[in-house]
Structure 1
Amino acid sequence: MLFTILLGLFSAILLIPFGSRLKSKWSILLPLIPTGIFAYYLGFIPKIASGASFVQHIEWVPTLGVNFDFRLDGLSMLFMLLITGIGTGIFFYARTYLKGHPYFDRFFGYLFLFMTAMMGLVLSDNILLLFIFWELTSISSFFLIGFNNDNKDSRKSAMTALTITGMGGFFLLAGLVLLGNVAGTYQISELIEYKDRIINSDFYPLILLFIFLGAFTKSAQFPFHFWLPGAMKAPTPVSAYLHSATMVKAGIYLLARFFPALGGTDLWSYPLMIVGGFTMLYAAIHSLFRIDLKSILAYTTISALGILVFLLGVGTREAIIAAAVFILVHALYKATLFLVTGIIDHETGTRDITKLSGLRKVLMPVAIAGILAALSSAGLPGTFGFIGKDLIYEATLHSKENLMLILTILAVITNTCLVAAGFMAGWKPFAGELPQEYSKLHLPYKSMWIPPLILGTLGLLFGLFPGFIGKWMSLATANSIFGAETDLKLAIWHGSFNTVLILSLVTLGLGILLYIFNKPSEKKVSFLEKFQSISSQSILTRYSNDIIRFSTWYTGKFHNGYLRSYHLKIILFAEGLLIYKLWMSGPIQIDFDNLTPLTIYEVAVVVILLGALLIVVSTPSRLTAVVSMSVIGYCICLMYVFYSAPDLAMTQFTIDTLSTVLFVLVLYKLPGFLNLASAKQQYRDIVVALGFGAILSIIALKVLYEPIQTQTSDFYGENAYILAKGKNVVNLILADFRGIDTMFETVVLGIAALGVYSLLKLRLKSSEKE
């Protein structure tokens, strides 16, 4: 499993140096990678279908509970086949769609990175590893959505998507960390063993809130849905891949994966049913008002995602079965419709359904794919979509008795609207008479129309032979989500005219009537725009603008670019914390009689130190200030010697000498100090400095009367030689026990050195200096 993830990652990396060579006929190699991965995971189907799962464990940071733990079961298998299977079609499609594009190689680099992130996400069996891949999907999708970076709308859409999903990722991280701490494990497959502990925890509501926010933002649930229609500015292969089968279903995957450990409570069910139910109805109705094919598909996608969230909220065995099947149903017909839309746009130059008709006469294979997808979306008997809709009604009719009628009516209205919207997107552009302006259109290259035709055909085949896909795929998926056996058995028809079949036929009939009588137009779109000011997008935009204004004010006050201002604020904040701590710790009692008497040497050194300090703060010469600072450093060295710390004295002496030499080399050519501070500011700084010194002096005196704790020093003394194989305990602490700290300190110093060196070597032109 790790190998397949690394294969996708290395493919993305190798496109950087060698991508330009793949703009020619060698680009045929690009789709072979997802094809190979897809074929590899197909081989696992028999064992997964029999109930087996595959685990791979590679230690990474075991002390923090972060390991490369991967797990392939029914749920992850379904998503892996969608990611790589539909990904294969997308790669072939995009190879022709973007032929000749100057950033052809860059696009496929981003696409490989996204595919890798999604594979890592669905295979992860470690909470924190899952989050790493979750964030990688957000970052890679940002590059894909904003691929046309010379277009202002594309850049804005990419930023909106990253902002919404990034915000959700922040909350998700908090929820996952809480979940891991409460359960006592970060391995996802082990969470179900601690379900009672998790549900009974005081943090359970907070865990659900944070995880829901992460899932809702990624899967475009109301009120975070608006980023998805905006993301349609991306090239069509991106829309087909990210927004039908993969990225937007990451939130669904998250909820499904944690259902066995977190589900089954009212706190889980009702929020998902409310948010999912409202989202699916709201978006389905909205799709009827749209005239842009991508916009129609975007809102129907949001509605379908709402259905999946709704089903996971219902949480019964029937609902989980319906969700397991509908994930595949939706991926097949929606990816097909997106790819068909891309071909229509590519050939005609428009996606306006009021201008499109009769395209079957010039794009027959594309028309077949679009019509098959529309029929599956509508739930026509004999298609896979029919079985999906049947199972949705099965779920609502077997939900809680007091909610059964409401949930069923909600599902019927939603599916009726989706039937009409599906025909608008997959049927209308091909029906009717062909306008004269499109009479000379021709089929694009085969790699563009064969993938949607295959996907559309699969929607029909799976509908005609549902027992096959149920046995080998959907059963294992449903069992993985439910956390127990579901006894799923799919059939074309169960042999009786029951309520479920009647509801399906009624939905189909009402949807066809709605399609016939609904006349989308610019007028209806304009009507919706009147309500834009009260939409969630406008409300969140105003909120974000308020944050920007506050951030601008805050930056101007606290990050004004003056180092002295930063120092002052940091010191004042530290003084406040220290004073609070001293105040809360009670009165300070100091026994001056037990203090060591001062010697003439200590007094002399302190006098020299104070004199040097006075020179530092009063001299107008940088060189004099540097030399005086070195005197202060040497005085501290003598203090270390007086108190029997020769190793510290030598270290201080070496560092002080080196610092003085460096300062002199860097600063000797600079002019004298510019005293920009007023007398009032100088007095303020004196008070702050003296206050800080007084607080530290009090703390030092207080420490003398604190009980000596030797556990830490005893540990280092006892284990330095045994664990680190050395006798200098101080060096071993820096180099071994706290080696990571030292490494990062070294990196920081190295970066600072490079910065100083760059400034010394900088040679500006006269125009740049001005």
Structure 2
Amino acid sequence: MLLAVLSGLIISLLIIPFGKLLTTKWSFLLTILPASLFLYFMSYVPAISAGSSFLQHINWIPSLGVDFDFKLDGLSLLFALLITGIGTAIFFYARTYLKGYIFFDRFFGYLCLFMSAMLGVVLSDNILLLFVFWELTSISSFFLIGFNNDNSDSRKSALTALSVTGLGGFFLLAGLILLGNIAGTYTISELIDARELILNHELYPLILGFLFLGAFTKSAQFPFHFWLPGAMKAPTPVSAYLHSATMVKAGIYLLARFSPILGGTDYWNYPLMAVGGFTMLFASIHSLFRIDLKGILAYSTISALGILTFLIGLGTREAIIAASVFILVHALYKATLFLVTGIIDHETGTRDITALGGLRKVLLPVSIAGILAALSSAGLPLTYGFIGKDLIYEATLHTDYQTLGWILNAVAIATNIGLVAAGFMAGIKPFVGTLPKQFENIHLPYKSMWIPPLILAILGLVFGWFPGPVGDFINHATANAVYGSETDMYLKIWHLNIVLILSVATLLAGTLVYFVNKPSPSKLKAIEKLNSIAPQRIFRGYANDIMRFSRWYTDLFHNGYLRSYHLKIILFAELLLAYKLWISGPITLDLEKITTPSFYEIGVIVILIGALYIVVTTPSRLTSVVAMSVIGYCICLIFVFYSAPDLAMTQFTIDTLSTVLFVLVLYKLPSFINHTGKAILYRDGIIALSFGVIISLIALRVWSEPISEEIANFYGENAYILAKGKNVVNVILVDFRGIDTMFETVVLSIAALGVYSLIRLRLKSTEKE
């Protein structure tokens, strides 16, 4: 499984040197990766449907509890099949959709990286490893959403998506660390054994809050939903892949994976039902006012994600079964509708449904795919969407919350009515009616564009005809993994009960809304008046406040003057050290240990003080440099007096070299900046004296502390044996310098990359275009 997860990352790295070959006929090789992975995961279907699961453990950073632990069970298998199966369709589709694009190879590099990250999320059995891949999905999706980086709206949408999901990731990390510390393990499959310990812990509500924030931001739940419609600025293959079947469902996967561990309490159920219920109804209504095909699909996607959150919140057997089926239902019809939308935009140059119609006459296979997907979305009998809608009503009718039963049913019915109409608007309306004259000459695109959505649409129909095998081999194992025990799930084409009546009534009502509702720019403009109280405006206000604070902070602490940086660093160090001295209590000295200074020691100190006075008072830079060298040589003599000739020689060498360098570049340096005002001089003098006093007090405290010989004995016993050095001081210096050099190497490498980037900024003519 490790190779399956990292294969996308490996391919994305290989695209860097060999990417230009992909712009030729060899681009078909890209589709081999997701197709091979899909077949690999399909091979596990028989065993997992029989109740098995597969684990893989590879040590990575065991000291931190981070290992390459992967688990393939019913839940992770469903998501892995969606990621690779729909990924295969997207790879085929994008080859033609982006043909001739200057950054063709870069796009597929990002896409492979994203696929690898998503597989890592759904297969990880270590919560810290899961978080690593979770953040990698945010980063790779940032590149994909902002792929058209010459467009300011694309860049803004990518930044918004990264900011919202990144904020949720921060809280998710905090929740996962708390969870692992409480349970004593970071392995997800072991957390279930610590369920009672976690549920009874005082931090349980806080953990849930952090986990919910991570899931809600990634899966676009209200009030974090606004980043998803903005992300529609991405190329259509990105929208079809990220926003129908993969990235936005990462939050749903997270809730489903931790449901057996954290679920089953009021703290879990009520927030998920409330947030999911409001999101699905709110977004369903909003989708009816959109005139852009991608806008309709974006809000209907948000509504579908709200349904899944709502079902996981219900937590009953029926609700979990409904969620496991609806994940697959939504992925099939929504990916199809996105791909169909991309073809319409690619051929007509518009996504405005008020300007589209009659396209079945020129795009017949595309219209078949769109209509089949719309019917599945609406829940027409003999489609897989019908079974998904049936199970949703089954869950709301058989809930444990009897007092809320009628409210839950009403919300579900109203949501589905809106989704029926929205599906017809996106999948049927562009193909019916009269064909505008400006579209009479358009033609079918390459087969690699219209065959993938047609296959996905037909699968939604075939699964509706034969729900039993699909349920038995895929959805049953998924429901069991989420529910935590056997669900006895068995899917039928339909049931002759009240659920069927509600499904048919919803379909009829949604169809009526579709014919009555006439989206227009004026209606859209009217509803956009509510943007003044929209979450997006509130978040943007907070973002602007943060920017203003950051600007003030930067101007205050990073004003570009070296003396200002030194001043702030020294002040911070003084406050920190002074606080530590204060809480450590009084300093006790044994005066009998203090020896009387000799006359030559006093003489050296007098010379040092005199040189120091010259440094701070002279107007000449050369005089200041010479006086500084005198201070350095005085310190050398002090080292000699106290039997430290190695330190004295080091100080002598450094001081001499520094003085020579100062004198050599003296003529290149600017003249002294005359800071007028005694206040500044007094301020600097007080800070300098305070620093000296604090360092002196630290030295006295160290001197007054009882001597511990434990460390000295360790180095004395092991310096030669372990480090092959007879001089203990040298061994210690070499150890510390080795660590210091390692970090210096990292810093220099980063600096080298920065310099290389600046050099490469001289763009070629093709890159400027």
Give the alignment's TM-score, normalised by structure 2: 0.93
Per-residue CA deviation, residues 622-679 of structure 1 (Å, 9 max, x unaligned), is 5554454444344444444444445544554555555555555555643443334643
> 2:696 aligned with 1:697, yes or no?
yes
**Cross-structure match for 2:597:** 598
Deviation at 1:246, TM superposition (A): 0.8
**Cross-structure match for 2:764:** none
Q: Tell me whether 726-735 or 240-249 shows the greater mean CA deviation.
A: 726-735
> 2:525 aligned with 1:539, yes or no?
no
Contact persistence 1:221–1:275 (CA under 8 A):
yes
Q: Aligned pair in 2 of structure 1 residues 755, 208: CA closer, same or farther (>3 Å)? A: closer
Structure 1 unaligned regions, length at least 5? 760-770
Q: C-alpha separation between the residues in 2 aligned to 1:363 and 1:537?
A: 37
Q: C-alpha separation between the residues in 1 aligned to 2:697 and 2:622?
A: 33
Per-residue CA deviation, residues 677-714 of structure 1 (Å, 9 max, x unaligned), is 64321211010010111122122222333344555555
Q: C-alpha separation between the residues in 1 aligned to 2:749 and 2:508?
A: 71
Q: C-alpha separation between the residues in 2 aligned to 1:619 and 1:187?
A: 66
**Cross-structure match for 1:582:** 581
Q: Aligned pair in 2 of structure 1 residues 176, 716: CA closer, same or farther (>3 Å)? A: farther
Letter in 2 for 1:313: G
Contact persistence 1:621–1:672 (CA under 8 A):
no
Q: Tell me whether 95-104 or 61-70 shows the greater mean CA deviation.
A: 61-70
Q: C-alpha separation between the residues in 2 aligned to 1:750 and 1:601?
A: 48
Q: C-alpha separation between the residues in 1 aligned to 2:418 and 2:402?
A: 25
Letter in 2 for 1:449: W
**Cross-structure match for 1:281:** 281
Q: C-alpha separation between the residues in 1 aligned to 2:657 and 2:434?
A: 86
Matches for 1:150-169 after TM superposition, within 5 Å? 150-169=150-169
Matches for 1:166-177 after TM superposition, within 5 Å? 166-177=166-177
Q: Aligned pair in 2 of structure 1 residues 598, 140: CA closer, same or farther (>3 Å)? A: same
Letter in 2 for 1:573: F
Letter in 1 for 2:422: A
Per-residue CA deviation, residues 7-64 of structure 1 (Å, 9 max, x unaligned), is 2112112222221221111111111111111112211212222222222222222111
Q: C-alpha separation between the residues in 1 aligned to 2:265 and 2:728?
A: 54
Contact persistence 1:733–1:739 (CA under 8 A):
no
Letter in 2 for 1:65: G
Letter in 1 for 2:510: G
Q: Tell me whether 265-274 or 286-295 shows the greater mean CA deviation.
A: 265-274
Q: C-alpha separation between the residues in 2 aligned to 1:51 and 1:622?
A: 82
> 2:56 aligned with 1:63, yes or no?
no
Per-residue CA deviation, residues 400-433 of structure 1 (Å, 9 max, x unaligned), is 2222222121111111111111111111111222
Letter in 1 for 2:526: F
Structure 2 unaligned regions, length at least 5? 759-769
Letter in 2 for 1:683: Y
Partner-residue secondary structure (3-state), 1:420: helix
Letter in 2 for 1:443: L
Partner-residue secondary structure (3-state), 2:704: coil
> 2:211 aligned with 1:189, yes or no?
no
Matches for 1:11-410 after TM superposition, within 5 Å? 11-399=11-399, 400-410=401-411
Q: C-alpha separation between the residues in 1 aligned to 2:71 and 2:529?
A: 49
Q: Percent identity?
A: 73
Partner-residue secondary structure (3-state), 1:269: helix
Deviation at 1:290, TM superposition (A): 0.8
Q: Tell me whether 26-35 or 85-94 shows the greater mean CA deviation.
A: 26-35
Q: C-alpha separation between the residues in 2 aligned to 1:713 and 1:408?
A: 74
Deviation at 1:742, TM superposition (A): 4.7
Q: Aligned pair in 2 of structure 1 residues 235, 660: CA closer, same or farther (>3 Å)? A: same
**Cross-structure match for 1:491:** 492
Deviation at 1:343, TM superposition (A): 0.6
Alignment coverage as a number of residue pairs: 757
Q: Tell me whether 608-617 or 355-364 shows the greater mean CA deviation.
A: 608-617
**Cross-structure match for 1:444:** 445
Letter in 1 for 2:246: T
Partner-residue secondary structure (3-state), 2:402: coil
Letter in 2 for 1:4: A
Per-residue CA deviation, residues 311-351 of structure 1 (Å, 9 max, x unaligned), is 11112222222111111111110000000001111111111
Partner-residue secondary structure (3-state), 1:597: coil
Deviation at 1:530, TM superposition (A): 1.2
**Cross-structure match for 1:459:** 460
Partner-residue secondary structure (3-state), 2:58: strand
Contact persistence 1:74–1:478 (CA under 8 A):
yes
Deviation at 1:265, TM superposition (A): 1.6
Q: Aligned pair in 2 of structure 1 residues 102, 313: CA closer, same or farther (>3 Å)? A: same
Q: C-alpha separation between the residues in 2 aligned to 1:321 and 1:277?
A: 18
Q: C-alpha separation between the residues in 1 aligned to 2:753 and 2:139?
A: 29
Q: Aligned pair in 2 of structure 1 residues 611, 541: CA closer, same or farther (>3 Å)? A: same
Partner-residue secondary structure (3-state), 2:403: coil
Partner-residue secondary structure (3-state), 1:403: helix
Q: Tell me whether 202-211 or 223-232 shows the greater mean CA deviation.
A: 202-211
Q: C-alpha separation between the residues in 1 aligned to 2:720 and 2:466?
A: 70
Letter in 2 for 1:320: I
Per-residue CA deviation, residues 191-225 of structure 1 (Å, 9 max, x unaligned), is 11222222222222222111211111111111111
Contact persistence 1:734–1:742 (CA under 8 A):
no
Deviation at 1:445, TM superposition (A): 0.4
Partner-residue secondary structure (3-state), 2:281: helix
Deviation at 1:617, TM superposition (A): 3.0
Q: C-alpha separation between the residues in 2 aligned to 1:14 and 1:758?
A: 20
Contact persistence 2:83–2:118 (CA under 8 A):
yes
**Cross-structure match for 1:766:** none
Deviation at 1:375, TM superposition (A): 1.0
Deviation at 1:93, TM superposition (A): 0.5
**Cross-structure match for 1:571:** 570
Contact persistence 2:587–2:704 (CA under 8 A):
no
Q: Aligned pair in 2 of structure 1 residues 615, 737: CA closer, same or farther (>3 Å)? A: closer
Deviation at 1:615, TM superposition (A): 3.5
Contact persistence 1:285–1:417 (CA under 8 A):
yes
Partner-residue secondary structure (3-state), 2:125: coil
Q: Aligned pair in 2 of structure 1 residues 719, 156: CA closer, same or farther (>3 Å)? A: same
Contact persistence 1:623–1:668 (CA under 8 A):
no
Q: Tell me whether 645-654 or 576-585 shows the greater mean CA deviation.
A: 645-654
Letter in 2 for 1:698: L
Partner-residue secondary structure (3-state), 1:531: helix
Give the alignment's TM-score, normalised by structure 1: 0.93
Q: C-alpha separation between the residues in 1 aligned to 2:671 and 2:359?
A: 79
